[in-house]
Structure 1
Amino acid sequence: MATIYESKTTEIKPFTYRTLLITPDENSEFSIKHSRQQPKHTKKVVLLNLVGRTSTDDIDSYESLEQANLFPLAHHIDNDKQEYEQYSKGLVQHFLFLIELQRLWKSEYDELIDLPRSSRGKFSFRKSDKDTHQYREAQIKALLEPIDPSQAIARTTATEYIGVVVKFYSFQIRNGYKFNKTPFEYEVVSIQYQGDSTSIGAYLGKDVHIKDLRLNLGKSRGNEGGALSSSHKNLNPITNREWQAVRNIPTNTSQVIKNVAG
């Protein structure tokens, strides 16, 4: 009986982190204590799990994705950030995509002639076959050519989801996680520049992290469903027709109606 996998989140709220210290006592035995440093409080921590279900919807397996969950913990504890909602949505979408890739591969796999698919955390040698780049292409297709227009995603959402994936794998790279091949082209360029009058040194340095995983879409200029089809996001003086439409909202209708994808 085939197991159906899905990514699910677990919320812990509120969440308090206290630094643990391992110290020897007078008998040279180690004990664990909490540091006297101020604990870190956050409203909510969202953790990611891989859940397997049977065809009758019973839970067959439940696995906490440790590498994925180190990311939100560092976001809250190390970076002292509170909000994580958008990051959580982006990671869930990415892992749902990875699960679907695995399902499609299994449906077409022939153990006599095909090589086994790389396990989680391993990437293809070809750029176009990397899971990360396939995910980017899927986001572009969902944005520009959605199967169901009513479920089309916004440009900002696609950009944020790709940004989360970049931050997630960049976090793993910085923390020494070893991939067989990098998730995307990643390079750190050190730039030296002259310091100003407030700097101690004559020259300062800065590391710039360069990745090739981005959407590369032109800026959207349309108003996406608004009544004024000639409206654009760039700053131009509005026409008399546009002004009358804007003025009609507070004086008459008190509402704005947009028609997006039907």
Structure 2
Amino acid sequence: MAYVKQVETTTIDNYIYRKPIISIDIDGEPVKEYRRSDKGILVKKMIFLNIVTYDENDKLVSFEAIEQANKFLLSKAIDDGVLDVASISRGLLHYFSFLLDLQLAWDNDFDEDTFDEFYDEPRPEWDRFPRSKRDRQTYLYRDGLKQLVIDGEVAKTTAKNYIGSVVNFYKYWMRRGYQFNNPPFEHEVVTLLLDTNASSMKPHQKKDIHTTDLRLKFTRSSRSGGTALENLRRDLKPFTPREWTALQNVLMKSRRVLRHGDETKLHSLPVEYTQHFMICRYTGLRREEAASLHRGQIVNPEVVINDSGQEVFKKPILNLGIGDKYKSFTKTPERGNKSRVTIIPAGAMKSLYDYMQSERYQKRLIKFRSWCASEIEKGNTHLFKGDDAINPNLDYLFLTQTGKPMFLRLGDFTNKWVEVRNTVNHSLVLEHKIAGSIHNLRATFAVDLFRHMLKAKDDEGRLKFTPDIALDRVSALLGHEDRSTTMDYLKIAQDMPMGDEIYEDVLDYIGVFDDIEA
């Protein structure tokens, strides 16, 4: 039977860590106590890594925590005071997934009869490295990241964050005296002597700088920093019509994706993810904004009979309010969770409404209410306090199978989007591989809407919007405080290859914006 291993995450939100005092009682058993004065350390989000094995029927076979990575992540949160370790976890998730691929290749080539442990290289593990530096997992990973950037599949900033997470992970264990068979990279500690200020009795202060040779370096040119033009500012680049059509076919037609590490079998894509991605695409909402939608924001669009006797929506475009006023989240809840109103096609709203009437959603909602009651009974009231906390009185749209709000696991949306994107890249022959993230759906919405508004005409054939009015309207819908931010989307669209297609091709839904008023 074939088995598939992959790295998955477990998220724990909003808990208080208190350092225990361990003692031995009269029976020789360890006893755990806490200091009364210890109020603990608030950890808002902890993302742990696990190696999960499935059989060919997608049945769970084994689940094993990656303890070495998880101890490092805990140290970053508790000892170093890092409030959000999500970016570090993503880097280690990518690295350990890479290790699994190396192990699979090694296992496929392994021959017990010819293998000699004294001469042949060991099986790749996080702490077992080949003798040759260039063959070690860390250097192979660095070179692979660099190629992903060159190919436009990963942004420079993302790649540097990933390699930084890996370096800091190994530094953590090296400082604790962990013995590797061969070093993961060349490591040197440089001691600097810094002048102290007048309040110190010591003339100098020592600071140790840990340096390595595991760095990502990119050649620079005067114009593009060594990167192809189409890969610059990838976070703002809209999808071309052909790219979006391919992505939409996966989301709305096949609804099946290739999982990481298994390109031989398609797996079903849960409807919650297809709904989320489509909402981001057709409303311009950010990932976290769409994830926090609830029943109070969803309506059943009114249907009327037109002159041809067909059922149509009375209002093809509806308003959608988000933020504090509407009890949902925006990107920056710590700044007051600013509210705004955007637009949503009636068809998209109807799809959300129908989903919330489904038996699948009702079962999840019951589990959500049960989970909230259980957490309150346990005294975990911190989960329900603050601008970005859970409101147990709301019926959140996106819930996990166990009833937890999916905005607590935003990384899951990112992981699923990568699967959708990789499925398209694996299935179709495109001139350029699709490299955009969920955020690029927001850019696609902005560019399409701006293009349409510039072409919209009234009954007398006159343009309905000036460029300035159109730009301000799009900026307001996106929640940009400065119109220059919106301009960045449009400039990237004009500079990118095939950018003219975005302005000239009419997508299926775009006609519904005809009724927008300035």
User: Do 1:15 and 1:45's aligned partners in 2 also have CA atoms closer than 8 Å?
Assistant: no
2-structure distance, mates of 1:102, 1:42:
34
Structure 1 position 62, deviation (Å): 0.7
Distance 1:219 1:167, change over 3 A: farther
Structure 1 position 261, deviation (Å): 6.8
Aligned to 2:79: 78
User: Do 1:190 and 1:208's aligned partners in 2 also have CA atoms closer than 8 Å?
Assistant: yes
Aligned to 1:189: 190
Superposed, 1:32-71 pairs within 5 Å as: 32-36=32-36, 37-71=38-72
Aligned-partner residue type, residue 69 of structure 1? N
Aligned to 2:352: none
2-structure distance, mates of 1:27, 1:108:
53
1-structure distance, mates of 2:51, 2:61:
11
CA RMSD of aligned residues (A): 2.7
1:141 aligns with 2:142: no
Structure 1 position 129, deviation (Å): 0.7
Aligned to 1:222: 224
Structure 1 position 33, deviation (Å): 1.1
Distance 1:81 1:250, change over 3 A: farther
The DSSP-based 3-state class of the residue aligned with 1:180 is coil
Aligned-partner residue type, residue 123 of structure 1? F
The DSSP-based 3-state class of the residue aligned with 1:44 is strand
Aligned to 1:200: 201
Distance 1:137 1:250, change over 3 A: farther
Q: Deviations over 1:115-162 (max 9, x none)?
A: 352444111121111101000000011111x3xx5xx11111111111
2-structure distance, mates of 1:134, 1:191:
31
Structure 1 position 29, deviation (Å): 6.7
The DSSP-based 3-state class of the residue aligned with 2:192 is strand
The DSSP-based 3-state class of the residue aligned with 1:159 is helix
The DSSP-based 3-state class of the residue aligned with 1:214 is coil
Calculate the TM-score normalised by the size of structure 1.
Answer: 0.80
1:13 aligns with 2:19: no
Q: Deviations over 1:215-245 (max 9, x none)?
A: 111357439459xxxxxxxxxxxxxxxxxxx
1-structure distance, mates of 2:111, 2:30:
53
Superposed, 1:21-170 pairs within 5 Å as: 21-23=21-23, 31-36=31-36, 37-114=38-115, 115=120, 116-144=122-150, 146=151, 152-170=153-171
2-structure distance, mates of 1:117, 1:78:
33
Distance 1:141 1:39, change over 3 A: same
Distance 1:251 1:156, change over 3 A: same
User: Do 2:124 and 2:137's aligned partners in 1 also have CA atoms closer than 8 Å?
Assistant: no
The DSSP-based 3-state class of the residue aligned with 1:136 is helix
The DSSP-based 3-state class of the residue aligned with 1:160 is helix
User: Do 1:3 and 1:53's aligned partners in 2 also have CA atoms closer than 8 Å?
Assistant: yes
1-structure distance, mates of 2:467, 2:73:
42
Give the stretch that moved more between structures: 181-190 or 103-112: 103-112
The DSSP-based 3-state class of the residue aligned with 2:214 is coil
Aligned-partner residue type, residue 20 of structure 1? P
Distance 1:24 1:70, change over 3 A: closer
Aligned-partner residue type, residue 9 of structure 1? T
Q: Deviations over 1:16-43 (max 9, x none)?
A: 2111112356888753212221211121
Q: Which runs of 5+ in 2 are unaligned?
A: 232-465, 473-485, 499-518
Give the stretch that moved more between structures: 85-94 or 113-122: 113-122
Distance 1:200 1:30, change over 3 A: same
User: Do 2:103 and 2:124's aligned partners in 1 also have CA atoms closer than 8 Å?
Assistant: no
**Which of 1 and 2 has greater Rg?**
2
Aligned to 1:211: 212
User: Do 1:3 and 1:54's aligned partners in 2 also have CA atoms closer than 8 Å?
Assistant: yes
2-structure distance, mates of 1:35, 1:65:
30
2-structure distance, mates of 1:118, 1:29:
39
User: Do 1:122 and 1:180's aligned partners in 2 also have CA atoms closer than 8 Å?
Assistant: yes
Aligned-partner residue type, residue 210 of structure 2? H
Q: Deviations over 1:143-202 (max 9, x none)?
A: 11x3xx5xx111111111111111111111112222111111111122234444333112
Residue-pair matches, total: 237
Structure 1 position 80, deviation (Å): 1.8
Aligned-partner residue type, residue 2 of structure 1? A
User: Do 2:99 and 2:124's aligned partners in 1 also have CA atoms closer than 8 Å?
Assistant: no
Distance 1:118 1:222, change over 3 A: closer
Aligned-partner residue type, residue 13 of structure 1? D
